[in-house]
């Protein structure tokens, strides 16, 4: 015994000795009430100082693994570790439909994964090399000095008050009238969406969605048991005729829209289109769930008001996060909506996870309050726009296509002439290039010839090389080569 | 115009000027295509440097609020802010049953709230003054230096790998056999519970619960539409006769248990009771959901193995967090379960909020890896135990009672002789003392004469003063005074 002990540099030595002895005791290798070696003896055996052993024994006693007898030394406590049962369950048979469906529609599991050496156009997350890590450090240190332990304890379901106020200011500067509205902080955009759906959509309810739309949104809606009704996206925004037709022929609870740098198409709804959507929604009393996705990444033209800024009533629920530009790893999003609705959503949020990390909220508040977001966006917009323009050039040069959609953002959406994007992906994968086939963004079975090319995490050189490979595969499949 | 501008010290001046002008433009106070004052003119009017104005104009141009004409200056862009609709919804009529129920059973809303000057025995959250803020700072700085921007970008639904490994080591040292099992990181214990329920419980399924039990658990189960079947808690653990009887007469999906420092009673299930529970569960093929709540706060006796360590099969789902001892504001918990089940839960988690904050996970990993948790628990256990003993003394001295339950933790659970805890609370509230009436922890209509007294956030002096007030009210209501 004691001859397989090995020290490493991870933890203090006394904790390593403690854990080592704990394992021996838990395995039942020393019987209860057996006397342990004296601290002097064990110190020699394990080749650590006597103080290390004394401290380890103290901890073990404190954790109830050993006990002391006056003048007789330390003994092993009675740990009931011998009479184990073996009881197995076939969990696959116990799963809910929800869990089975979640697994089935999880594209992270089913789509090809990035491996070393590949060029991946799957990601539309920001380039982490552009983050202001120093400013974030400063924000953390400032906030923790001010708040100390308080910020590490339980907080409120509604969120960290200074951050809520900061986000309200930010929304006001988008032109949104905040009267009668309130904000709740969520675990990113995805939780915001789930909370809204939980508050206003029942199983089997109908919801109108742009088609195609964000795959995360599609999955969240499907998992809520909703009936998704597609409305086509055009180059200028939502197809209004189809919208009105779908409203008349169905009984939708909500209209879900991503009017700026729409995911996956990159389309920006025109100001006129936005106004008309609002008029139609008002006419049919259909509330709107607006997704503020990527509004910050406007590269060209004048500022365009979000739908939430074009209506002075309470009918628009606006959800967003900074995650497409800033620190998505922090998982902070929000819901702006009628204050009555927010009050109910607060209880839902509390029941699900009490609240969003107060440390993260405090850091983000401090970062925003220092004006860092503006500086950061100002910087990255130029970089992303240059990359976007380069990618556009490369697509035009290398990939035969019917249509390129979108005016910006961190991705391009391509419609091919005839090749199936799935077939293209299959061939590209062999050559180490992956992307997201457009069909995963469609509610119906459209989109076979479309693909989304995320460009934020690849270099210009990789864009050219990768697009060339995609283009060659397309040409081959379409008989052009 | 421009005469109501006021500077503050929050943000850089140019951002303040930018935001001020943005608001004017958004309000439509300057018409589109109107020329703005020159940078020199505006600098005089707003009493800031010309450079500040130049920078503000640059940002405004970049954000699409103004445009530049060569040699003519800056002009206001066309922001479509005039044709607003007013479209209102009566949200109360749109709410789901889920949202209405969440609001109705939300005790944070219905129970008396702490106000300045009150003594509150409601909280069982840790004392933030005991947190090692310096160690946490160090953990943050170490991790961010190592990971840089990476840790701020999207991560994985399963969690931050080093933290998962750290938690596995930690669970192994509780004696748990990890073979065929896996861990997923969640937004605290509450999300862990919700995920497990979502994966294995359908609407209207039956679930066996200790009675009383954690109110958060009761609410989560009710909101999932489950039928809660109570099993009584005794001083030594779960009532086994009732357990077996309930299993026979119902068709439960799960048995939910908190065997250590049970919330609210503080009871620690005896080693014998634990083994018998496992035998019964195995006999009837009933999987167990074990809540590791407060296991770390064992004050007396030998180490007791969690249920998950007493079975070598895959039938126990173990959920926990450090939140009752450490940094609950970070919202990090976990599920340990059969790897097949964890794989499905991963997809559910991804659909709900992508993943838990990677920054928080990285900080917690670094903190744990340095051996800080052991040091911290070692320190606070003595403090909390002293407080617990003091509280016990005060209860015995001041509050007439039938029974005091519990062997430790951060709270006491009291059964009064005849007074209703609700009536006691009503009177105490007038005198500035609040606590949680036990009935909120009961699944059936029991517990009228019980109350939970949380002691972690009050001083010894407040405990004595507060308990005296409660005792006097009890005596008065029971006709003893």
- Domains of chain A from N-terminus onward: 13-76 (1.10.10.10), 107-129+376-477 (3.90.1150.10), 147-373 (3.40.640.10)
Q: Give the best residue of A166, A269, A347 to mutate against chain B (max B CB count within 10 A).
A: A347
Q: Is the pLDDT of residue B427 over 90?
A: yes
Interchain contact, B94 vs A63, CB within 8 Å: no
- Residues of chain A in contact with residue B337, where contact means CB-CB under 8 angstroms, are 91
Q: Give the best residue of B357, B361, B363 to mutate against chain A (max A CB count within 10 A).
A: B357
ipTM of the complex, rounded to two decimals: 0.96
Q: Is the pLDDT of residue B5 over 80?
A: yes
Residues 6+ positions from B117 with CB-CB distance below 8 Å: B432
Write the pLDDT tens digit of every residue in B238-293.
Answer: 999 999 999 999 999 999 999 988 999 999 999 999 999 999 999 999 999 999 98
Chains A, B: CB pairs < 8 Å: 397
Interchain contact, A65 vs B303, CB within 8 Å: yes
Residue A335: its pLDDT value, please?
98
Angle, helices A372-398 vs A460-477, to 10°: value is: 30
Interchain contact, A348 vs B130, CB within 8 Å: no
Interchain contact, B278 vs A87, CB within 8 Å: yes
Interchain contact, B200 vs A253, CB within 8 Å: no
Interchain contact, B85 vs A310, CB within 8 Å: yes
Sign of CA dihedral B134, B136, B139, B141: negative
Nearest chain A alpha carbon to B137:
A141
Write the pLDDT tens digit of every residue in B437-479.
Answer: 999 999 999 999 999 999 999 999 999 999 999 999 999 999 9
Write the pLDDT tens digit of every residue in B374-413.
Answer: 999 989 999 999 999 999 999 999 999 999 998 778 999 9
Residue A82: its pLDDT value, please?
72
Distances (CA, A) of B452 to A50, A413, B435, B441: 45, 58, 7, 9
Q: Is the pLDDT of residue A481 over 80?
A: no
- Residues of chain B in contact with residue A312, where contact means CB-CB under 8 angstroms, are 84-86
Structure tokens at A144: 């923790």
Interchain contact, A200 vs B99, CB within 8 Å: yes
> Which of B79, B172, B199 is facing A99, going by the closest CB pair?
B199
In whole angstroms, what is the distance from residue A248 CA to residue A238 CA?
A: 16
Residue with tokens 């619960």: B209
Q: Give the best residue of B19, B27, B255, B329 to mutate against chain A (max A CB count within 10 A).
A: B329
Q: Is A119 exposed, middle or buried (0-12, 13-18, 19+ CB in 10 A)?
A: buried
> Which of A129, A154, A315 is facing B329, going by the closest CB pair?
A154
Residue B28's pLDDT band, with cuts at 50, 70 and 90, is confident
Residue B359: its pLDDT value, please?
96
Interchain contact, A11 vs B89, CB within 8 Å: no
- Residues of chain A in contact with residue B187, where contact means CB-CB under 8 angstroms, are 187, 352-353, 356-357
Mean pLDDT score across all residues of chain A: 94
Interchain contact, A149 vs B130, CB within 8 Å: yes
Q: Give the best residue of B56, B153, B375, B382 to mutate against chain A (max A CB count within 10 A).
A: B153
> Is the distance from CB of B40 to CB of B73 less than 8 angstroms?
no
- Residues of chain A in contact with residue B303, where contact means CB-CB under 8 angstroms, are 63-65, 77, 79
Residue A408: its pLDDT value, please?
78
> Which of A91, A130, A313 is facing B88, going by the closest CB pair?
A313
Query: Looking at CA atoms only, how far is residue A399 from chain B in angstroms?
Result: 29
- Residues of chain A in contact with residue B26, where contact means CB-CB under 8 angstroms, are 173, 175, 309
Sign of CA dihedral B158, B159, B162, B167: negative
Query: Looking at CA atoms only, how far is residue B281 from chain A in angstroms?
Result: 8
Write the pLDDT tens digit of every residue in B139-162.
Answer: 999 999 999 999 999 999 999 999
Residue A261, Ramachandran bin (φ over 0: left; ψ between -120 and 50: alpha; else beta): left
Mean pLDDT score across all residues of chain B: 94
Query: Looking at CA atoms only, how far is residue B307 from chain A in angstroms?
Result: 10
- Residues of chain A in contact with residue B282, where contact means CB-CB under 8 angstroms, are 85, 87
Write the pLDDT tens digit of every residue in B61-88.
Answer: 999 999 999 999 999 998 877 788 999 9
> Which of A12, A92, A340 is facing B92, going by the closest CB pair?
A340
Query: Looking at CA atoms only, how far is residue B9 from chain A in angstroms?
Result: 10
Query: Looking at CA atoms only, how far is residue B33 from chain A in angstroms?
Result: 12
Residue B296: its pLDDT value, please?
81
Backbone φ, ψ for residue B237 (5° rounding):
145, -145
Write the pLDDT tens digit of every residue in A323-382.
Answer: 778 899 999 999 999 999 999 999 999 999 999 999 999 999 999 998 999 999 989 999
Nearest chain A alpha carbon to B346:
A103
* 3-state class (DSSP) for residue A96: coil
Query: Looking at CA atoms only, how far is residue B375 from chain A in angstroms?
Result: 9
- Residues of chain B in contact with residue A340, where contact means CB-CB under 8 angstroms, are 91-92
Query: Looking at CA atoms only, how far is residue B453 from chain A in angstroms?
Result: 18
Nearest chain A alpha carbon to B220:
A351
Residue B248: its pLDDT value, please?
97
Residue B231: its pLDDT value, please?
98
Lowest pLDDT segment from A290-304, A425-439, B118-132, B366-380: A290-304
- Residues of chain A in contact with residue B344, where contact means CB-CB under 8 angstroms, are 95, 99-100, 102-103
Q: Is the pLDDT of residue A295 over 90?
A: no
Q: Is the pLDDT of residue A8 over 90?
A: no
Give the largest Cα separation in chain A, rounded: 91
Interchain contact, B89 vs A285, CB within 8 Å: yes
Residue B10: its pLDDT value, please?
78
> Which of A62, A275, A344 is facing B83, going by the closest CB pair?
A275
Write the pLDDT tens digit of every residue in A141-188.
Answer: 999 999 999 999 999 999 999 999 999 999 999 999 999 999 999 999
Residue A1: its pLDDT value, please?
79
Structure tokens at A444: 């119906």
Residue B209: its pLDDT value, please?
97
- Residues of chain A in contact with residue B354, where contact means CB-CB under 8 angstroms, are 188, 190, 216, 331
In whole angstroms, what is the distance from residue A233 CA to residue A50 CA?
A: 74
> Is the distance from CB of A305 to CB of A271 less than 8 angstroms?
yes
Interchain contact, A11 vs B190, CB within 8 Å: no
Lowest pLDDT segment from A8-22, A296-310, B417-431: A296-310
Query: Looking at CA atoms only, how far is residue A266 from chain B in angstroms?
Result: 18
Percentage of residues in chain B having pLDDT higher than 70: 100
Q: How many CB atoms lie within 10 A of CB A455?
A: 26
Q: Is B93 exposed, middle or buried (0-12, 13-18, 19+ CB in 10 A)?
A: exposed
Q: Give the best residue of B134, B147, B354 to mutate against chain A (max A CB count within 10 A).
A: B354
Residue A27's pLDDT band, with cuts at 50, 70 and 90, is confident
Nearest chain B alpha carbon to A191:
B353
Residue B300: its pLDDT value, please?
78
In whole angstroms, what is the distance from residue A464 CA to residue A469 CA?
A: 9
Write the pLDDT tens digit of every residue in A188-237.
Answer: 999 999 999 999 999 999 999 999 999 999 999 999 999 999 999 999 99
The distance in angstroms from the start CA to the end CA of chain B is 71
Residue B8's pLDDT band, with cuts at 50, 70 and 90, is confident
Residue A294's pLDDT band, with cuts at 50, 70 and 90, is confident
Interchain contact, B187 vs A188, CB within 8 Å: no
């Amino acid at each position: 015994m004691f001859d397989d002990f090995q020290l490493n540099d991870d933890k203090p030595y006394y904790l390593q000795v403690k854990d080592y002895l704990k394992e021996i005791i838990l395995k039942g290798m020393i019987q209860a009430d057996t006397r342990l070696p004296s601290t002097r003896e064990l110190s020699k055996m394990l080749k650590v100082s006597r103080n290390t052993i004394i401290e380890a024994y103290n901890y073990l006693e404190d954790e109830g693994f050993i006990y002391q007898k006056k003048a007789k030394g330390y003994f092993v406590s009675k740990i009931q570790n011998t009479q184990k049962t073996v009881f197995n369950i076939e969990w696959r048979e116990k799963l809910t439909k929800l869990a089975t469906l979640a697994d089935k529609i999880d594209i992270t599991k089913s789509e090809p994964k990035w491996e070393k050496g590949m060029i991946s156009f799957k990601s539309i997350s920001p380039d982490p090399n552009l983050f202001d890590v120093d400013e974030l450090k400063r924000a953390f240190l400032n906030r923790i000095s001010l708040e100390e332990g308080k910020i590490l304890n339980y907080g409120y379901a509604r969120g960290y008050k200074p951050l809520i106020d900061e986000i309200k200011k930010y929304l006001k500067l988008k032109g949104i009238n905040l009267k009668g509205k309130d904000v709740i902080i969520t675990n990113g955009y995805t939780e915001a969406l789930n909370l809204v759906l939980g508050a206003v959509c029942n199983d089997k309810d109908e919801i109108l969605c742009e088609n195609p739309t964000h795959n995360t949104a599609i999955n969240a809606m499907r998992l809520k048991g909703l009936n998704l009704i597609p409305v086509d996206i055009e180059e200028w925004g939502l197809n209004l005729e189809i919208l009105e037709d779908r409203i008349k022929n169905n009984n939708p609870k909500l209209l879900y829209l991503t009017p700026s740098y729409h995911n996956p198409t990159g389309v920006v709804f025109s100001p006129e289109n936005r106004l008309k959507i609002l008029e139609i929604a008002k006419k049919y009393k259909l509330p709107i769930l607006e997704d503020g996705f990527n509004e910050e990444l406007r590269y060209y033209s004048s500022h365009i008001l979000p739908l939430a800024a074009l209506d002075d009533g309470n009918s628009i629920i606006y959800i967003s996060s900074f995650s497409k530009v800033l620190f998505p790893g922090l998982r902070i999003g929000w819901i702006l909506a009628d204050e009555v609705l927010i009050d109910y959503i607060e209880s839902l949020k509390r029941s699900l996870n009490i609240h969003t990390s107060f440390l993260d909220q405090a850091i983000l508040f401090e970062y925003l309050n220092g004006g860092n977001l503006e500086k950061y966006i100002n910087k990255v917009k130029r970089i992303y726009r240059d990359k976007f323009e380069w990618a556009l050039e490369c697509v035009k040069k290398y990939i035969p296509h019917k249509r390129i959609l979108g005016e910006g953002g961190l991705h391009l959406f391509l419609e091919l002439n005839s090749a199936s994007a799935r077939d293209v992906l299959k061939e590209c994968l062999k050559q180490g290039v992956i992307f997201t086939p457009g069909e995963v963004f469609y509610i119906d079975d459209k989109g076979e010839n479309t693909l989304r090319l995320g460009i934020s995490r690849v270099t210009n050189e990789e864009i050219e090389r990768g697009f060339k490979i995609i283009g060659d595969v397309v040409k081959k499949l379409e008989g052009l080569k």
